[in-house]
Amino acid sequence: MKQPVRVLVVDDSALMRKLIPQIIERDPSIHVVGTAMDGTFVAKKIQELQPQVVTLDLEMPRMDGMETLRLLTRERLPVIVVSAHSTQGACSTLKALSWGAFDFVTKPKDAASAHMEEIAAQLIAKIKAAAKSSVLPAVLEQATSSPKSLKEEGRTAGPATRVIAIGVSTGGPNAVHYLLAQLPADFPAAILIVQHMPEGFTGMFAQRLNDACAIDVKEACAGDLLLAGRALVCPGNRHMKVRRMPLGNMVALTDEPAVNGHRPSVDVLFQSVAKAFASTAVGVLMTGMGEDGAEGLGQIKAAGGMTIAQSEDSCVVFGMPKTAIERGYALRVVPLEAIGATLQAECRLSGQLAEVRG
């Protein structure tokens, strides 16, 4: 019989140290081996209890969550951050992800037992994925030069030659950061990104990407134009679609029901892009749990577009890309470090073909 996943719960709240074990141990494949009230106890607990996964609160006294995270990542232990759903919580969580946290869940605003049920399934799934993963998120290196110097002052973005739709989940923030940082300021395509992330986090995520990349990145607003060298991140708790309009192609945001358990959903974006742009569309399905985006990638392929899946060896979780590959929807399977170059080559080829036809 397979041994249950051994979990250490680190939280300064006595209530959380009681509730988190209660909700996750309902799954018989998970066993909470212990709890700790802050980071000063963690090193000893790791040696004694040998956990496989750690859940971590970031707001703690004495040794805080970020210092504790540094300790845990040095030990190669996957960490699920249990974050406050607040502006400060979002900022700390995104920082934790850049420092190597595996993933996060957000605490309900009212953390009573009944409300903790809202995150139970999500937390259990992420703990299981963390225990199985052989690839931990890379710690992002700080840029040695100011990214703002890479942006071309006064550059006017024109219409995009291609529309690139990217879908990503667990492991995504660092993977997307890495990918977009490879692209030059004059990149000729428009980029649309669905990252599974809650409301209130995506705007800050987009701002961090914008600060780190030569291309422009922003959280999408309804009516935003699809412009060359600009990436639009779907807001949390919305779906993102595209519309072809006489004055320019643009983004539409909707509040339709969740798809595949997600809002935003990658499938919603991919299906819309396939319908609107057909052979000029590019779909990129990256690291993440589940199957969201697989069928949408298939629709982009059926419409004549290019489809790319991230390779298993470079995925933190090989769920979404694996499903698309197994169904025959990925024309290319590419490691993370080569996706940027692949997209640039695809755009160059598209431009050469347009010149020939012209």
Give CA–CA dist 153/329, Å, rounded. 39
Q: Which of 11, 38, 83, 196 is catalytic?
A: 196
Two tokens, residue 4: 């249950």
For residue 310, what are the β-bridge partners? 334
Is residue 117 within 8 A of residue 20, CB to CB? The reply is no
Which residues make Cβ contacts (< 8 Å) with residue 75, sequence separation at least 6? 46
Asked if 313 is an active-site residue, the reply is no
Phi, psi (degrees; rounded to nearest 5) at 82? -105, 100
Which residue's structure tokens are 């004694």?
48
User: Residue 112: left if φ>0, alpha if ψ -120 to 50, beta else—which one?
Assistant: beta
Burial of 151 (0-12, 13-18, 19+ CB in 10 A): middle
Q: Which of 92, 133, 169, 265 is catalytic?
A: 169
Angle, nearest 10°, between helix axes 336-357 and 172-181?
50
**Widest CA span in the chain:** 70
3-state secondary structure of 280: helix
Q: Which of 292, 311, 314, 350 is catalytic?
A: 292
Laid out side by side, the sheet with 30-36 consists of 30-36, 5-10, 53-57, 79-83, 103-106
Q: Pick the closest to residue 96 from 57, 132, 50 (CA basis).
A: 57
For residue 309, what are the β-bridge partners? 285, 333
Asked if 31 is an active-site residue, the reply is no
Asked if 169 is an active-site residue, the reply is yes
Q: Which residues are catalytic?
A: 169, 196, 292
